[in-house]
Amino acid sequence: MCVQQTWQLYRRLHESAIFPKDQLAVRREIANIWLKQAPVNSRTGRKGGKYAAKDKRVPPHVRFDGNSHFIEKTEKQARCASCGMKCRQRCIKCQVGVHDRCFAHFHSK
């Protein structure tokens, strides 16, 4: 939002107010408007369903131990721990969803 727009917004908000304000007071109010709006504006658009760090669910010493990792089919859909897409397989040992095509990748560093 540029200063011009903020000024117009200020005018709209204060149309009913009759008493004049000097430039400094106006600038201070504009600063207040900015401060109130900025956090909201910066948050929208950035937030969203960002998938939680996929590797964090399985500790590395389990994930990369190369021992007894088997894939099994699941009834419910899960998130693949490697690519983050929905899948219907999981690693029995890691207890996380993983595609068969992602299985090797997920278990190798």
Residue 78 phi/psi, 5-degree rounding, is -130, 170
- Give the binding range for Zn ion (CB under 5 A) out of 10-18, 22-30, 47-55, 76-84: 76-84
- Encode burial over 64-96: b for 16+ CB neighbours within 10 A, e otherwise: eeeeebeeeeeeeebbbbbeeeebebbbebbeb
User: Does residue 81 belong to the site contacting Zn ion (CB under 5 A)?
Assistant: no
* Footprint (CB under 5 A) of Zn ion, residues 25-44: none
The one among 79, 83, 95, 100 contacting Zn ion by CB under 5 A: 83
User: Which residues are near Zn ion by CB under 5 A?
Assistant: 69, 80, 82-83, 91, 93-94, 99, 102
